[in-house]
Structure 1
């Protein structure tokens, strides 16, 4: 019965992820159709989602710990169905922003509570492995959603695209309703107040706050670098080639997370956070050298279907895939550490809520910094600064970990 519960939660993770990436893919189309009247409104197309997520993280996590997580998840899935069903009827910029905000509330609930239930249902020695499987479902949705969204929209328009999302969310909702058991855990009071001073979570925060800057910059600007005009420092690849670069990172992350999660269950979660974060930083520093690597190795510049690109193409695909491998070491181990602290009765949903909030400042500020670097010293500095932020994060993490918990904590956590 427990295995069926996990499958229902993995399906929920897939359906929610499919909706997020599909709308992100179609965002330029909405900009073209709705033609926002100002730059501020254009910004709200994106930040409306982020703002809603930030506002509801604490109350949603609190509700998940105070009441039945299954009920909170069902409400979140119902809100998801309503938000995606509303998008085809949007006729104004402000209507889109409102629907986007509702989507932000819904995906915060589904993300937090799904991971909380996976963490709570797992034993200590299977937690990272199960979280890795849940994340793999999300990455699979990202790959399929980004490919299918453009195809379906080109053939049938917005209505069919969102109809597919709703058609995925309804079985997910039914799966939770029929197979996920009610959660008996009830945390009184306000768990955030205790978890905010938890020594393990503070140690993880020393890494995560800096790593958010690294990932936000590098993950987004690899795609920018691939498609940007050569005159502005990019490689000027067409959309199909850019999508290959994009999918390489997601595919490797999807492929490796269950395996690396299982290894971190056995050999220490902190070690995998340290190794994954450090490797991510080192690979990020290499991204601007993709053209040099391609020319030095004499790699091809012409490819079937994709046409003429440049010798930098294969190195860039490889480096972005390697970023996916690096992040697959870090993510399930990091999530399991947060779940470990919450699952001991402190509040697993609140623990994940803190994890989400710690990420926010870096993810908001990093794109602004990347834009300044790109238009100033050059796009290569986005990867230099992002890589150094990741390396700085793991060194800070190791220093705080060793000082507060002893030299052996890297393999004992």
Structure 2
């Protein structure tokens, strides 16, 4: 086996470990909401924060830390050895996951998630930058698709094991598994990854921020961030939260299955759709995938009605009593994964193309992250407010609408700046 292939495998293992840890927190979020009781959080005893705000901060604390970390980490990736930085942030991630079993308050949970956010951002930026840099143009989206497939495979295993382990033994064993996996990934990367000799002087963000293709896709990405953050965060909340909170009150294992459905289909399709975007261009896949995601998101609140209309079962072996909404919710979650599998590798490859051509692939992915941050920071707070003040369904209505307006904004600007044929030529 040649050295380049071993480097790719080490990077795929890094994506696997990161995905495993990330999805564990998403899967167990309803349990943390129930355990930590977000209704009684006060600030220095002066005033009490609303439950919707605190629930939003469980995710916004993570995304705020990511936002702060993007620019310095991306700059460091272009200026120094990306591999060494990746090893360092993996070690930081290992520490953050070791802290979660010790969390006993909402404030401590938000702090641990902030530390996790820095580590996840660094690992994502450096691993994708290295995959993009090591790949030829004709294989770039395919290799990125494989890297993402590894992350989704971990998400599947993480969701299932998190739900089962938590139901059996609580939080501690779940995070013990993550710490071991992160440690193995860190050591493997340290041993197999060759030194990165690429050095970009100055501040590549300034040039790439004015890149016309990046500016064009920014019109889509800033809005799509709201859609994905709302939908990915609230599907498991909707499935696991009590009926009084607007949810379906499913067990942790059932919640895991709803999350796994999206990850499995995304994992299954991404290498293939990435290869197709290498052959046929990027923009069409972004448009079709983003639009389909929005339409499916709009249908999520109708899963109980769909189940009732088809007379679907309300009790299942192993899972026990659930509701008729279970199969429709799992199916819709799977369709969300199919839709996003068209969008994600094409979008990532576009940023890798521009960063490689103009110098500063880490900064290019950094800009990609920054475009995501405003929506991902605001969306959880908006979702918490919508859930508690308007209704759970409106989280998905707003998420779906954001994806649809995003793809049509992208199409309009793309056509205006690059011509009517640009959708199939990029």
Alignment TM-score > 0.5, same fold: yes
Q: Return the match for 2:367 from 339, 345, 354.
A: 354
Residues matched between the structures, number: 413
**How far 1:229 moved relative to its partner?**
4.8
- Structure-2 change in CA distance of 1:315 and 1:344 (3 Å): same
5 Å matches for 1:116-135?
116-135=129-148
**How far 1:290 moved relative to its partner?**
2.5
Deviations 1:47-77 (A, max 9, x none): 4433322111100000001111112112212
Q: Within 2, Cα distance between the matches of 1:212 and 1:361?
A: 8
- Asked if 2 retains the 8 angstrom alpha-carbon contact of 1:14 and 1:138, the reply is yes
- Structure-2 change in CA distance of 1:377 and 1:162 (3 Å): closer
Q: Within 2, Cα distance between the matches of 1:160 and 1:234?
A: 27
**Are residues 1:407 and 2:420 paired?**
yes
- The residue number in structure 2 matching 1:105 is 118
Q: Within 2, Cα distance between the matches of 1:121 and 1:285?
A: 39
Q: Within 2, Cα distance between the matches of 1:30 and 1:283?
A: 27
**How far 1:82 moved relative to its partner?**
3.3
- The residue number in structure 1 matching 2:293 is 280
**How far 1:126 moved relative to its partner?**
1.1
Larger mean Cα displacement after TM superposition, 30-39 or 3-12: 30-39
5 Å matches for 1:2-21?
2-21=4-23
Q: Within 1, Cα distance between the matches of 2:112 and 2:321?
A: 41
- Asked if 2 retains the 8 angstrom alpha-carbon contact of 1:64 and 1:349, the reply is yes
- The residue number in structure 2 matching 1:310 is 323
**How far 1:154 moved relative to its partner?**
5.6
5 Å matches for 1:2-401?
2-25=4-27, 38-39=41-42, 46-87=59-100, 98-153=111-166, 160-230=173-243, 234-401=247-414
Q: Within 2, Cα distance between the matches of 1:332 and 1:38?
A: 40
What's the RMSD between the two structures over aligned residues? 2.7
**How far 1:373 moved relative to its partner?**
3.3
**Partner-residue secondary structure (3-state), 2:137:** coil
- Structure-2 change in CA distance of 1:97 and 1:249 (3 Å): closer
Q: Within 1, Cα distance between the matches of 2:35 and 2:291?
A: 43
Q: Within 2, Cα distance between the matches of 1:97 and 1:141?
A: 24
**How far 1:376 moved relative to its partner?**
4.7
**How far 1:380 moved relative to its partner?**
2.6
Q: Within 1, Cα distance between the matches of 2:360 and 2:42?
A: 41
Deviations 1:259-314 (A, max 9, x none): 11111111111110000011111112222332333333333333323334333322
**How far 1:96 moved relative to its partner?**
5.6
In the superposition, the TM-score normalised over structure 2's length comes to 0.87
- Structure-2 change in CA distance of 1:231 and 1:17 (3 Å): closer
In the superposition, the TM-score normalised over structure 1's length comes to 0.90
- Asked if 2 retains the 8 angstrom alpha-carbon contact of 1:187 and 1:345, the reply is no
Q: Within 1, Cα distance between the matches of 2:372 and 2:59?
A: 17
Deviations 1:145-169 (A, max 9, x none): 2332344456566554443223222
Unpaired stretches in structure 2, ≥5 consecutive residues: 44-48
- Asked if 2 retains the 8 angstrom alpha-carbon contact of 1:119 and 1:131, the reply is yes
Deviations 1:64-113 (A, max 9, x none): 01111112112212222333345556677766655444333222211110
Q: Within 2, Cα distance between the matches of 1:187 and 1:234?
A: 49
- Structure-2 change in CA distance of 1:7 and 1:39 (3 Å): farther
